[in-house]
Structure 1
Amino acid sequence: MSELDPLDDKEQPFISHLVELRSRLIRSMVVVLLVFLGMSFRANEIYAYLAGPLTQHLPAGSQMIAIGVASPFMAPFKITLVAAVFVSMPYILYQAWAFVAPGLYQHERRFALPLLVASIVLFYAGMAFAYFVVFPLIFQFMVLTTPPGVAMMTDISQYLDFVLTLFFAFGLSFEVPIATILLVAMGIVSRESIADKRPYAIVLAFVVGMVLTPPDVVSQTLLAVPIWLLFELGLLFSRFFAPRAGREMDRVADV
């Protein structure tokens, strides 16, 4: 029996980690469910607010339509569920942080928590940029380019899928500074090597904008330019998270 004791010692921490992970997942799901139930009574209002950038630019007499039988019911509740997840994201990420933090060193915790907070803020900033800046320009462009004799009547389910894709694309793209800082902080690449690859980063930004957005120049540019600027921002702030030797080289270069 004594020969099995070391295995038991190894299994106990693993099982305890699984139990803790399950507990934190359940807490996150409960919070999302409670937020969803609280928002579900205003599901139609939430959808109307989300559809605002399109409906404001539709020609007189045009309106959104529902092709599917259950679309008038499912589309508002689907966006409400997604909104509940977005609203609960700080709590979900806190649970992830609480699960991972005990396994980090003190110096890793020191920069991991600010980066976690910054990543949340940047994700919400990307969504806000998409809603208040990108959506009005895209939908105005689409309405103006509609061929004569064609009535623009967008299906609410297709519209929902479209805007959720853009929300995710812009929210994820606004995490570029965090990715740049992490690469430098972990010593995977140096600031100098990233700076030297700036032309490739710009080309990659426009490629990402072309892949993740609709096939029009406006939306592609509106995603690519912020990615490029956020890359520059991440490169600027990465000097404060670079390994000590790298920071000393930066100071010498500044002098």
Structure 2
Amino acid sequence: MLRSARALALSAVIATGLGAAVAPHAVADSGDSKRLHANTLRSKVAHVVGPEGGPVIGSCSLVVPSTARVVNDWQSIPVRVTGGCAISDTPIAAWYVGSYDAPSDFIFFGDFSDSGEVYGSRTSTWDVFDNTQLGRRTWQDDFAFTGDQTAQYTQNNPVTTVKVGSWAALSTTRSGSKVTINTRVSRYSTAYHKPIAWAGATGTIQFRAAGTSTWKGLKYATANSAGTYSYSYINSAKGDYRVVYNTTPYIWDATSASSTR
């Protein structure tokens, strides 16, 4: 959005002291702290920029990954801006996910001096926690001003799909012409903050004949409560085996390394 009275209103109710604008990874471990961080930064920017924001002189586009894997309790992902705001300027800009009053994520380009003055930046970070909202998320435009705070930019609305990561493993044994394939799959748990067995995961065991480059489906697999699945069959031909477990709305797919038998 362009300069909004909503952001200005925050300056009347939220303190503008530097101590409140702490690093995202120090406060974003709950919905309340994410909201506090976003609203504090909005308040500080509104306090410095003033009520008008200036004319629109160009565009400012957030460059953020289209996909993100949650595989630990916190990770910092580099982001940047492009467009007119990045050619000869260092913009003061922000995007958020969720509702304006209680955003689930917030990216801010800029910083504040010891005296409280704001200055812009072309690069920033997106702090992803394991309580980050999963699924398809649209980054909403919050504000984008020139570094000297005399004009503003239009903003884009990129989309990021966030899911927890998963991992697949496969091993094989041969006894004569009988091949036994053992698979294991795990996924990251946001509740336990570590990888756990991915019970019920579905996928396909694949085979690639020696000397060829094409993988072919061999057997559908459904992981048990321990995240494992085994299959045996007769095949005297040599080749490679792997397993591919399917993606779900909140879990990314996983492909194992190959095993030759």
Q: TM-score range by the shorter chain?
A: under 0.3
**Which of the pair is proportionally richer in strand?**
2
The higher radius of gyration belongs to: 2
**Which of the pair is proportionally richer in helix?**
1
Task: Give the number of the structure with larger relative contact order, counting CA–CA contacts within 8 Å between residues 6 or more apart.
Answer: 1
The TM-score with structure 1 as length reference comes to 0.25
